[in-house]
Structure 1
Amino acid sequence: GLDDCLQQYVKSFEREQMGGEQLLHITHQELEELGVTRIGHQELILEAVDLLCALNYGLETENLRTLSHKLNASAKNLQNFILGRRRGGHYDGRASRRLPNDFLTSVVDLIGAAKNLLAWLDRSPFASVTEYSLLKNNIVQLCLELTTIVQQDCTVYETENKILHVCKTLAGICDHIISLSSDSLVSQSAHLEVVHLTSIMPSEGLGMYIKSTYDGLHVITGTTENSPADQCKKIHAGDEVIQVNHQTVVGWQLKNLVNALREDPCGVILTLKKRPQNTLSSTPALLRNVRWKPLGLQVNVTAVPFTNVLVLKPAENLCMPKAFFFFFLDRGHSKSKYKRRE
C-alpha cells in the first residue's frame, strides 16, 4: 500500500522474511543490503515504520495535555540550548552567520512537536471551539515565523534572540493549555473503534469524505446525508482510518486506500482512531458529525472514479500551510523517536 516506487523491493523483503521486529530496528545499511539504495526510498520506508510506532506506542498515552507538555519541553530545550551555547567559552554568534547543524536539529524537533499538537487542535472537537482554534492559529503563526527566522541573513546571535522570543511564547501557550484542567477533553486519549458498513448500494457508495495528509494519515472530514457512513452513527469528522478489512493502511498512498475500500462491494470493516467527542464546557450543544447533502459535492473536492468515497486532494486542507513544512521535512535532519537507526 506504500508508494509505487517501493513495490520493486517487495520480493527482496519476502525473500529475507523480514518481520515486524526486524523492520522496527532496520537501519539505512540493512535497507541498502536489501537493494534499497536510494536515500529517498529508504526514508519512505523508515517514515512508514515510524507512523506505525507512533500509533502503537502513543495511542493510550497521547492526549492534548501530554502533547502540550512535549511541545513545552521542546521549546524550553531549545531555549536552554541557546543559552548554554552563549555561556560557552568559544561562542562566536555575534560574528558567525551560519547556524550549526545541532541547532537546526533542535528547531526541527520543536516544529515536529508542534505538528503533533496541531494534529489534535485541527480536528473535532477542538477545531469547533473558539479558544482552541485561536491557540492553534497562534502556534501555526509562530512555527511559520520560526521557519522564516532560520533562513534570514543575519548573525547567529540575532537569529537566536528571535528564536528565544518564539520559544517563550510557545511555552506560554502550552502552559495555558495544560492549565485547562477543568476541560476533561484535555486529558482524554484517543481510542480505536471498529465499524461495520453493510448493505451498500453501488450507486450510493459509503458516503465518506476523506483527506490524506502529507505524512500518510487518512482523516474523515464528514459524511453524505443518509449514506451508510451517516446512518451507522459511528463515523465522525476527525476520525482517522487505521485499518480497512483488518489491513492496516497507515502511510498508504491514497489510491491504494481507495482500492481497499472498494474491494468488497457488499461491505467494509473499518478500524478508526477517534479523538475525544464529549461536550466541552464552553460548547452549548454536542458536537455533531459534519454532513453534506449529495448536491453540494463540487466544492473543493475531487471525486475518485467510483461512488464509494469522495477524497479531498492531499495538498488541501492541511493543518498548516505548505510553506510551513518545506523546511522541517528536510530529510537530512529527520530522525526516529522510537528506535535507533544507526
Structure 2
Amino acid sequence: MYHYVQSFTNNEVGGKQLLNIRPYELEQLGMLSIGHQEIVLEAVEYLKNFNYNLDKENLQFLALHVASASQSLSKQLKYSDQTKLETQILKDITRTVAALKPLIGWLDRVPFRGQKQFDELRTRIMQLGLEMATMAMRDRFSVKPVESICSTADKLGKIADYIIQDISDPMVLQPASLELVTLKKRESDLGFLIMPSLNGIH
C-alpha cells in the first residue's frame, strides 16, 4: 500500500477530499486493485466513525445497531412470501453483518476481552454472523435459506437485546476515550518510559 502514497501526495489529496473519496477516484489515483480500494475506504470509514462517534459510542450503542438491523431483517423475511433471497434482502443481510463488525471489535478489546461472559458473546455473535453470510452466499444450495437466515437474525437480535437489557456491568455504557500525547525528542533520550493506561492499548 505504501507505493500509493506518492500518487496521493502528487495529486494533493487532503483530508477533506479523503473523507469523501469514492472508488472511481481511487482508480484515477492509480489504485486499481479492488481489495486495496476496500482497505482504504474501510479505513476512512473507521476514521469518520472514530471522529464523530468517539464520545457516544459504547457497547450498548453498538448492540442497539445490531438489534435494529437483525430485527428489521427478521421481520422483513417473516412477512414476505419469498423462497429466494432477493437483492434487497441481500443488502439487508450485508447491513446486519456490517453492524456486527464494530460490536465484535469492542468485545475483542480491553476491558471486555478475557471476561468469560463477553468472550462467549463474541464467539456466538461471530458464529451467527458467519452462518448468515454463508447462507446468503449459498442461496441456491441451501435448504430453505430464507427461514434459516430469519432464524439466525432472530438469534442475533436476542443476543443484542441481552447486551442492552440484561448485562449489569457499567462498562457497557462507558464510551471510548482518547488520550493524546505529543512528545518532542531532542538530542538525548526523553528519560522516561511511556506505558499505556490499560495493558495492550496503544
TM range (shorter): 0.7 to 0.9
Q: Distance in 1 between matches of 2:147 and 2:198?
A: 43
Aligned in 2, Cα 1:127/1:101: closer, same or farther, shift over 3 Å?
same
For residues 129 and 42 of structure 1, do their structure 2 counterparts lie closer, same or farther at Cα, with a shift above 3 Å needed? closer
Following superposition, the deviation at residue 52 of structure 1 comes to 1.4
Aligned to 1:303: none
Task: Judging by fraction of residues, say which structure has more strand.
Answer: 1
What is the aligned residue count?
194
TM-score, structure 1 length as denominator?
Answer: 0.51
C-alpha change, 1:138 and 1:15, in structure 2 (3 Å) is closer
Residue 188 of structure 1, CA deviation: 0.6
Q: Find the partner of 2:98 among 109, 112, 121.
A: 112
Q: How does 1:154-233 map to 2 (within 5 A)?
A: 154=142, 158-180=144-166, 182-194=168-180, 198-199=190-191, 228=193, 232=195
The 3 A distance-change label for structure 1 pair 137 and 57 is same
Structure 1 residue 190: deviation in Å?
Answer: 0.5
Letter in structure 2 aligned against 1:237: N
Aligned mate of 2:69, from 42, 53, 74: 74
Gaps (5+ residues) in structure 1? 201-227, 242-342
Distance 1:193 1:183 in 2: 23
- Aligned pairs for 1:287-298 (under 5 A) are none
Q: Tell me, yes or no, if the aligned pair for 2:59 and 2:173 is still in contact at 8 Å.
A: yes
Give the Cα–Cα distance (whole angstroms) in 1 for the partners of residues 175 and 29 of structure 2.
38
**Is 1:63 the equivalent of 2:58?**
yes
CA contact (8 A) 1:74 1:109 kept: yes
- Residue number in structure 1 paired with 2:29: 34
CA distance 1:237–1:32, shift in 2 (3 Å): same
1:237 aligned onto 2:196: no
Q: SS in structure 2 opposite 1:128?
A: coil
In structure 1, distance between residues paired with 2:126 and 2:39: 25
- C-alpha displacement at 1:63, in angstroms? 0.3
Deviations 1:109-144 (A, max 9, x none): 212211211111122222233322222222122223
Aligned partners of 2:31 and 2:37 also within 8 Å: yes
Which structure is richer in relative contact order (CA contacts within 8 A, separation 6 or more)? Answer: 2
Alignment of 1:1-342 (within 5 A): 3-4=1-2, 7=3, 9-86=4-81, 91=82, 93=83, 96=84, 99-150=85-136, 151=138, 153-154=141-142, 158-180=144-166, 182-194=168-180, 198-199=190-191, 228=193, 232=195, 234-239=196-201, 241=202
2-side partners of 1:35 and 1:128: how far apart?
A: 42
Change (3 A) 1:154 1:129: closer
Q: Deviation digits for residues 188-229 of structure 1, max 9, x if unmatched? A: 1010113569447xxxxxxxxxxxxxxxxxxxxxxxxxxx45
**Is the contact made by 1:127 and 1:133 (CA closer than 8 Å) also made in structure 2?**
yes
Say what the alpha-carbon RMSD is for the aligned residues.
2.6
Give yes or no for contact 1:60–1:189 (8 Å, CA) kept in 2: yes
Does structure 2 conserve the Cα–Cα contact (< 8 Å) formed by 1:121 and 1:132? Answer: yes
Change (3 A) 1:144 1:30: closer
Q: Specify which structure has the higher proportion of helix.
A: 2
* Maintained 8 Å contact 1:75/1:110: yes
* TM-score under structure 2 length normalisation: 0.81
Counterparts in 2 of 1:146 and 1:237: CA distance versus 1, 3 Å: farther
1:239-278 deviation line (CA, Å, top 9, x unaligned): 2x4xxxxxxxxxxxxxxxxxxxxxxxxxxxxxxxxxxxxx
> Any unmatched runs of 5+ in structure 2?
184-188
Given residue 21 of structure 1, which amino acid in structure 2 is its aligned partner? K
3-state secondary structure, aligned to 1:127: coil
